[in-house]
Every structure is written in C-alpha cells, then in structure tokens.
Amino acid sequence: MRDYDEITSFLGEWGPFQSTIFILLSLSTIPNGYGGLSMMFVSDTPHHHCSLPYLNSIGSNLSQALPLEEVNGKLDYSRCTRYTRLNSTEAQFSNETERCLDGWDYSTEQYISTITTEWNLVCGDAWKVPFSLSVFFMGVLTGSFVAGHLSDRFGRKSLFFLTMAAQTIFTLIQAVSGSWEMFAILYFINGMGQISNYMAAFILGNEVLGESSRLAFSTVGTCVFFALGYTVLPLCAYFIRSWRILLLVLALPGFLYIPLWWFSVTISYYGLSLSTPNMSGDLYLNCLLSAVMELVAYTGAWLLLKVASRRAIISSTLLIGGTVLLLIQMVPENFSSFSVGLAMVGKLGVTAAFSVMYVSAMELYPTVVRGMGMGVCSMSSRLGGISSPFLAFMGTYNKALPYIVMGLLMLSMGLLCLLLPETRSIALPEDLSQVQPLNCCCYRGEPAAEPEACRTEDQLSAEDRNMQMKE
C-alpha cells in the first residue's frame, strides 16, 4: 500500500495552492491568540469602594464613612465594608461596619467598564472572575475530547469552518450578555470552538501541505500567528476600554472566513429595513417607500440581467448604494426629506444587488456542489440577518452610525465583487473542472473546460471523426 505522501505527491511541494493554504490556515489561528487571554482586560477589577449615595448631601467625606485596611502592604479605604450611620440626616457614624448595601463605586481612570464593574464581581462574588476563566478552559478540555472524533467523522474542513463560525458568533453574543451566567456559558462554548478550530487547522495544514513545508507551518505558521494574535490584544485593549466593544472588535477577524459579500448585503438590506423608525418623517410613509423601492429594484434587476454582466450589476449597485448612505451624515437636519431620499436610493441598490447575487451564485457553482454552495451562501447571509437588529439599534445612539457602517460595508464589497468571474452567456458548469477562475491578477488558473452543451454540432462531429480514425 502506498503511503500518504506518495498518494498526494501530485499536489507538489510548494506552489500557489500550498501558499494559499499556508497563509489562510495560519491567519485562522490569530483569534486563538487572544480568545482566552482577553479576560485579563475584560474581567480586570479597577479600584473601588462602597457606594455612598448620601455622602454629598450630609457634607461628609470618605475618611469618615469608610474604614481603612491594608491592601498590598498599603493602607487604603475598605473595598467591602463601610461604617454604619447613626443618623440619617447628619454626618455621624459608629465604629461598627456593614456590607456595601448600596453597591460599589468604581474608578474609571483605566476602564470604562469590565464584567467586574458590570455585575459587581467583587467581595463575596469575586470568585466568579477566576471561575469565568476556568469555565473557558473547561470548554477547551471538552473540545479536546470531541474535536478529534468530529474531524474524523465529518472532515477537517467542515469542522474548521463550523468552529470558526461558532467562535465568531458566540463571541458576538457574549459581548451583549445580560448576566454573568450567560457570559460564562458562552465562554465555555468559545473554549470548545477555539481548541477544535486550532486542531482542525493544524491537522488540515499538515495533511495538505508537502513534507518540506509542514515544519514551517507547524512552527512559523500556527505558533507565530498565534503569538501575533496575542500581540494584537493589548493594542486593541489600550484603545478600547469597554469590555463589550472590545469583544465585538476581537470577533471581527472571524468574518474573513465567511463569504462577506453575502453577509454585507444581507446586513445592509435588513439594517436599512429595520432602521426605518430611525428615519426622519412619518414612520408609515417611510415603510411604504421602502417597500416600493423593493418593487422597483427587483424589476430593474430583471431588466438589467438581460443586457449587462452580473458582476457589473452587483458591483455598481453596491457602490452607488454605499456612496449615498455615506452622504446621509452630511445632510443638514432641516433637509430631512433629502436624507430619507438618500436612504431609499441605498435601499434600492442593496435590494437589486441581493436579487442578482442569487442568480450569479447559482451560475458560479457546478452542478455537483451547487446545493452545498448555495447553502453556504445562504448561511452567510443569515449571519448578516442576525447582526442587522444590532446595527439598527446603533441608531438610538447616533442616527448616522448605521448608515456609515452599511455604507462602508457596501463600498468594500462592491470593489471585492469585481474579482468574481463573469457568468453571463455561459452554460451552467457541471463539474469542478468547469468552474471559472477568479478575475484576479494574482491568480492565473487553467481555463475552465467547456461544457458539453456549449460545443457546436460541427465541433462534436469533428471530435467523433477523430475518434473513429484513431480506432
């Protein structure tokens, strides 16, 4: 029986395929570098003391209301007790102490918020902070047991993408946790996803890459990029002092492994639809206009598909829609009708792109994997749908913020879509050999095989004659 290296020797030792696999799998380990270590910033405990809501009203100060205790070799105000008041209207305190009945006041010198300040994980509940990290490593332990079996049962690639999606999605949900219990449960799932993702990437890389590049992948690839993720953590934490926003930012790299044009279009589509209440003017009229724009967009897309290329339609509608959404923030408040008009043009663009993308994706995938490919695209778009309510919710803080995010997403995806191959007037591919290559100067694949249905009768008859002559 031939060994594995002999069977896969046709792939070669190093080339465009191996370099792409090497880079993509190495990049996937960056989130693992800050996944568990982010707790040093997310759960840090700032300086705090018992809350004293009556302090200013009675003209007292901290030295009268709080006992002193030794903390790290220095005298400081007690963090868990305060003196009992003798009179509710005067600054008189007894020598007896009581628990912090009114909560705690935290210093905001270093952090805006952490999970410690959010849920008062101090004093009697201080054990929950280290336990949160222990829960994460319990997830890592559980993932270590099941990852190997799952990768053998369902394949390395399937497990890799599934766990990358799980890491990203559950980190996003973790950032909006409503309680410490919810945070801890999601952290457990993240631990499972992180180790499973790392193992899947490590095994996949070593099995696909040639013998000469495995050593580099196992050290420079996975380990150095893991350390790079660790390096990114303090840089992000330095500029982002809110634990919720920090987790949201740390979750973003995971979206690089999702078909982003589907995610961006869906989040922009539903984000615009759900942002209707944040628009100026009458809610019912704005909703009606938004619905009418869809009718216009679908009809226009149908007509454009007959005369223009799929790639040009998707790119142009996204670029136009993204541009007008970015212009909304520049419109003065007294021109509210103009702002609504720009939003409707943006809705027109993203809706047209949405409808054309289904046609383009269906024509891109060959018959043997068309169902699976469309399923992956649909899954990616639903992730955008899941995120869209939070995008609309941003409008409660700043009306322009959702439009800025959607505009930037649409512009970036409008440019990236230019890399997609054109499928207009080309027969549906039947197998993987007929798939069109990316329209990218950095990739020059072999031209796709021509489907049988595209060949003329003269070509087919000539081929038959040649076969007969050879026989």
pLDDT in tens, 196-217: 888 888 777 777 777 667 767 7
Per-residue CA distances from 4 to 8, 10, 207, 223 (Å): 6, 11, 9, 25
| pLDDT, tens only, 375-384 | 667 666 666 6
The answer to whether residue 399 scores a pLDDT higher than 80 is no
Q: Considering the domain 10-43+128-257, what is its CATH architecture?
A: Up-down Bundle (1.20)
- The half-sphere exposure of 399 on its side-chain side, counting CA atoms within 13 A, is 16
pLDDT, one tens digit per residue, over 348-373 is 888 888 778 777 777 777 776 666 66
Q: Residues 443, 444, 445, 447: is their CA dihedral positive or negative?
A: positive
What band does 305 get if pLDDT is binned at 50, 70 and 90? confident
Taking the C-alpha atoms of residue 59 and residue 91, their distance in angstroms, rounded to an integer, is 7
**Percent share of the chain, pLDDT over 70:** 67
Structure confidence at residue 456 as a pLDDT band (50, 70, 90): very low
**Residue 105 near residue 48, CB atoms below 8 Å:** yes
Per-residue pLDDT tens digits for 79-98:
787 777 656 555 556 667 77
* Rg of the chain, C-alpha, whole Å: 29
Give the pLDDT confidence score for residue 370 in this predicted structure.
67
Q: Do the beta carbons of residue 138 and residue 195 sit within 8 Å?
A: no
Say which DSSP state 96 is in: E
pLDDT of residue 444: 47
User: Per-residue pLDDT tens for 217-276?
Assistant: 776 777 778 888 888 888 888 888 888 888 888 887 776 665 555 566 666 666 666 666
| Strand, coil or helix: 337 | helix
Rounded Cα–Cα distance for residues 261 and 377 (Å): 9
Kindly tell me if the per-residue pLDDT of 392 is higher than 80: no
pTM (two decimals): 0.57
Degrees, nearest 5: CA angle 255-397-414: 35
Q: What is the mean pLDDT of residues 127-135?
A: 85
pLDDT at 36 over 80: no
The whole-number pLDDT of residue 355 equals: 77
Class of domain 260-419: mainly alpha
How long a stretch of residues is the chain? Answer: 471
Same fold, 10-43+128-257 and 260-419: yes
Query: Read out DSSP for 118-144?
Result: HHT-SGGGTTHHHHHHHHHHHHHHHHH
- Rounded to an integer, the average pLDDT of 152-157 is 76
Helix (H, G, I), strand (E, B) or coil at 114: coil
Q: Which amino acid is at 66?
A: L
Per-residue pLDDT at 401 exceeds 50: yes
Higher-confidence position of 272 and 10: 272
Indicate the domain borders of the chain.
10-43+128-257, 49-106, 260-419
